[in-house]
Amino acid sequence: MSENEQSGEKTELPTEKRLRDAREQGNIPRSRELATAAVFTSGVLAIYALAGHIGNGARSWLKAALAPEPALLRNSDLLFGHAGWLLLKLMVAISPLVAVCVLASFISPVLMGGLRFSNKSLVPDFKRLNPMSGLKRQYGPEALAELAKSLLRVLFVGTAAGLSIWHGIDGLRGLLHQPLEAAARNGLGFTLQLLLATAGAMAVLAAIDAPYQKWNWLRKLKMTREELKRELKESEGSPEVKGRIRQMQMQLSQRQMMEAVPSADVVVVNPTHYAVALKYEGGRMSAPTVVARGVDEMALRIRQVADGNKVAIVSAPPLARALYREGQLGKEIPVRLYSAVAQVLSYVYQLRQWRTGPMPALPPLEVDEFGKGGRA
């Protein structure tokens, strides 16, 4: 397979930007099985925990519904209000169960991808009207996955319900010979066991479906190498543009350096390959500062500007190389070079005061060029 063909395959994991954009558009992993299992299981557990409260409320409601007051039978105008009161009482009785189911509906979104509200997901997608896309959805891999889930749902729920009925069939037969209250109580208990078994089967199916949906969501968001390169360019900038910016920054820095050379006190040179311009103002600076530094062509330009502005140029090769290697533009010189630079500055100040007589000679400089007696 050629490189072009490989670059067209979605082999790269989605970037954080792609994942963030997908979430903002409402494209997040969702598991219907997890949502159904969460609501159904929470409802069953709520019934199990609130059975007494719900049962008392249901009995009170049935009593009021089936045994109305005689005044209601004589005055039909009161029936409408009574019906509304019965409806309100029924809602109060089942409100704990409804509240638990509503809260449980948030479990699946939180576990899968968090709660997100996006207006973009409400915008109509006309691509879904494409017949080819519809056929692909109905007969493609997604349809096969849904078919497999449906078969597993029938298998798990049917097996759980069948085993529950099989173990409780004798108790169901015995309900015919029990008193009404005992039969109702035992029948509800059997129904609750059946619901719990069904909820367990749905939870197993959700435990299979949720990781699959997360994997499938990431698979759909995978990127080709070209998409990855394009996104990196958009987020970090084109290498050509970044190179141009660095070049402009370097030119600006060099121009600022050259503008600072005339104000320097001395330029220490190699004498040809290195040049470092130093400036010191007593009372304002604790140590001499590097205002310009360069090598080869830049060193030549620094020497030319210094010579044109009558800035002292001192040839001290080890010191020049040490200052260039360890000094930073706009920063004070390293502490270990204080002594050598002080001698150079003292010599420059003597040159400024020299008028007649022999020109002072530069004292010998003891400079460990690389520091600690070794090469860098």
Whether 332 shows a pLDDT value over 80: the answer reads yes
Alpha carbon distance 329, 253 (integer Å): 10
Across 71-85, 90-104, 121-135, 246-260, the highest mean pLDDT is recorded for 90-104
φ, ψ at 369 (rounded to 5°) = -60, -40
Q: Is the dihedral of CA 299, 302, 307, 313 positive or negative?
A: negative
How far is Cα 289 from Cα 282, in angstroms, rounded to an integer? 12
Query: Per-residue pLDDT averaged across 338-360, rounded?
Result: 71
Which residue in 367, 372, 283, 361 sits closest to 324, CA to CA? Answer: 367
Q: How far is CA 26 from the centre of its chain?
A: 16
pLDDT at position 274 over 80 = yes
For the chain, what is the mean pLDDT?
78
Q: How is residue 313 annotated by DSSP?
A: E
pTM above 0.75, yes or no: no
